[in-house]
Chain A
């Protein structure tokens, strides 16, 4: 089969297309960062997860050490059960604290792990029992308003109660 210039150009075209798809996958997308080698799975129960989503990062000291694998509602305890995949290289004590934080004011929510002092370490399938829920802004504001109201004008609030 003899080669023509057209073959060359079509080859260049297809190669460019493949390069673009690879570029999109690796440079634009999260194909590289989503798989963090070998992992082990732990769970944590929260009363309120706020806006936490699957694939959200799990950080400790600000470093991404895992990802949220799945979130299900547990109808027995009326809690959210969050499955977390952690990098095998990082071990945490059994009394580790799991908090839900928000990155910036409008940013994504992520789970922050704070190590405790126990010697025993979390294993695959373990449950993190110390958790802190996501901060719900409305709750904070209403708490703040109520405390303000009761601090400043006790007479007003008693009037309102009547």
Chain B
């Protein structure tokens, strides 16, 4: 057992150094993306194409899951609220939980799984097939041509997707609460409007989704850019994208919420 200890310690140290190295390289990539800000916005066509790939193609999964999440919230919320005789508050419950938390967080998790993995695999394969090196040979910066447009596409798409998620989720909750269960439609909307604040709830939700968009896209880009140029390397990088993005989103969500609630 003692024999294994130095090896385990060495492994731990190795992994820590590796982690710090990766954080530094990720930060450098983030800096480069800002450095090429003007250059990438000079070619909006590239960004539009990436918005199509990350945003438009994620629409279906976002809308469908939002509708189901909203319906489940409606059912579960009604089940508990009716015990206290306040089933009209179901609109408040659905809207607040979606706008504040579930909208940004679930969208970010789905976004990491749907768009983040695609970004990582694409860039990893471009690297494995030496397309990125070829660009460098032609004096075209891969960061400006490949990385930055994808970053801005994620930055733009994520808040839009999160807002759609919240809105469709509320409609899902409405669909369960009003026509199926029979809660009064007027009470559903008016109680919701009385309790949901534009600045404190909706704008904070949008801020959250912006932060998650930056983090998820950056992780996906970095993992792809950093992947070993082999089939196994790309597959591992894709896995890491999902794991790291999810952890980062959930951890950041706690920090952001703590800031916003002002504990």
Give 1 or 0 for each of A1-32: 1 = CB within 8 Å of chain B CB.
00000110110111011111101110111111
With A9-B52, A10-B48, A21-B206 given, is the CB distance from A108 to B194 under 8 Å?
A: yes
Cβ-based interface call for A33 (8 A): yes
Contacts of B197 in A (CB 8 A): 29-30, 55
Closest B residue to A15 by beta carbon equals B160
Contacts of A23 in B (CB 8 A): 167
The distance from the CB of A46 to the nearest CB of chain B, in whole angstroms, is: 22
Contacts of B206 in A (CB 8 A): 21
The distance from the CB of B240 to the nearest CB of chain A, in whole angstroms, is: 28
A7 contacts B163, CB within 8 Å? no
Cβ-based interface call for A157 (8 A): no
Contacts of B159 in A (CB 8 A): 17
B202 contacts A28, CB within 8 Å? yes
With A9-B56, A17-B163 given, is the CB distance from A29 to B51 under 8 Å?
A: no
B55 contacts A13, CB within 8 Å? yes
Contacts of A12 in B (CB 8 A): 56
Contacts of A106 in B (CB 8 A): 84, 86
How many residues of chain B have a CB within 8 Å of chain A? 32
B49 contacts A28, CB within 8 Å? no
Tell me the bound Cα distance from A133 to B162 in angstroms: 43
Main secondary structure of the interface of A (DSSP, over half): helix
Cβ-based interface call for A129 (8 A): no
The distance from the CB of A69 to the nearest CB of chain B, in whole angstroms, is: 15
The distance from the CB of A13 to the nearest CB of chain B, in whole angstroms, is: 5
Cβ-based interface call for A34 (8 A): yes
Residues facing B in A66-108 (CB within 8 A) are 104, 106, 108
With A17-B164, A20-B160 given, is the CB distance from A29 to B56 under 8 Å?
A: no
Q: Which A residues form the contact surface with B (CB < 8 A)? A: 6-7, 9-10, 12-14, 16-21, 23-25, 27-34, 55, 57, 104, 106, 108
Can you give 27 A-B contacts (C-beta < 8 A)? A6-B48, A9-B52, A10-B48, A10-B51, A13-B55, A14-B156, A16-B160, A17-B159, A17-B161, A20-B163, A20-B167, A21-B163, A21-B202, A23-B167, A24-B99, A24-B202, A27-B170, A28-B196, A28-B202, A30-B196, A30-B197, A31-B198, A33-B193, A34-B198, A57-B194, A106-B86, A108-B194
